[in-house]
Amino acid sequence: MPIPPEILDILMPWAIAIGLNSVLLTIAWFAPKKLLTPAGLVHAWILGTILWGTLGWRGYTVMMFYFLVGSAITRVGMAEKEAAGIAEKRSGARGPENVWGSALIATLCALGTYTIAVMPSPWTHELLLLLLLGYVASLSTKLSDTCASEVGKAYGKRTFLITTLQPVARGTEGAVSLEGTLAGVLGSAAIASVGWAVGLIGGLSIVICIVAAFIATNLESVIGATLQSKFDWLTNEVVNVLNTLIGAIAAILLALLIQTLITK
């Protein structure tokens, strides 16, 4: 009995997702240069399968851009950062906690778009646009944070605690620098531009993502300076989830505000 076309339309993206990510997992597993730990590779396979199955190649491309650029930025000035004791653990290789700390909010946005698409409502189009914006904004925020942190630790000439503006050592939780801040803005602009290029967001949304990422990244620095040392459960990965959540919410609220102002 042939499979109905509507069922094939649903199953095909997931079949491609499983096949593609299995091939990439195999290549990465045996590659001499490890960007992920073995457990990180398995979790990345799960993440990649979900994203291709829900958002197709467009959403997958944005995530891959974040992963490749973020991994490269982590290795910038690695020798200096390791000598100073402020480098990422495992020389920047990502584990499961890093995968989901960075991508949990994006994954929830992707699953939200998929659910809404298969369960249409009068607000389907508007909700889809907002969730796609949240998806791109969350990754813009995370890449902004990664670029700001890694470039600041490697090349920041003067670093200040964001809450007091007092000079502190590079790598201090809550520290900011001009070099890191500029790198963060460029990182968020780059990934938002990729989101626009593949058709997930509109041109104005690039600016929204940059602003939202700037807000979220600085709020994350405030959290790092004031709360992170006081609570054992507030790990870097939890802070990353909060950071990307703030970025997604800020972008959605900005988009709604702009829409309200335009329609008045």
Domain ranges of the chain: 5-263
What pLDDT, on a 0 to 100 scale, did the predictor assign at position 113? 94
Nearest to 160 by CA among 181, 138, 182, 186: 181
Q: 202: which 2 tokens?
A: 């509109």
What pLDDT, on a 0 to 100 scale, did the predictor assign at position 7? 66
What pLDDT, on a 0 to 100 scale, did the predictor assign at position 6? 59
Within 8 A by CB and 6+ apart from 75, the residues are: 91, 92
Distance CA 71, CA 56 (A): 23
What pLDDT, on a 0 to 100 scale, did the predictor assign at position 187? 96
What pLDDT, on a 0 to 100 scale, did the predictor assign at position 155? 82
- Helix, strand, coil: what percent of the chain each, to 5? 75, 5, 20
Q: What is the mean pLDDT of each run of 10 residues along the chain (264 residues)?
A: 62 91 92 85 96 96 95 76 56 81 96 85 86 98 94 84 84 84 96 97 97 95 86 89 97 95 82
Q: 32: which 2 tokens?
A: 């001499």
pTM of the model: 0.91
Distance CA 260, CA 224 (A): 34
What pLDDT, on a 0 to 100 scale, did the predictor assign at position 84? 55
Within 8 A by CB and 6+ apart from 71, the residues are: 35, 92, 94
How far from chain centre, in Å, is Cα 119? 27
What pLDDT, on a 0 to 100 scale, did the predictor assign at position 160? 85
What pLDDT, on a 0 to 100 scale, did the predictor assign at position 201? 97
What pLDDT, on a 0 to 100 scale, did the predictor assign at position 166? 87
What pLDDT, on a 0 to 100 scale, did the predictor assign at position 36? 87
Distance CA 143, CA 220 (A): 13
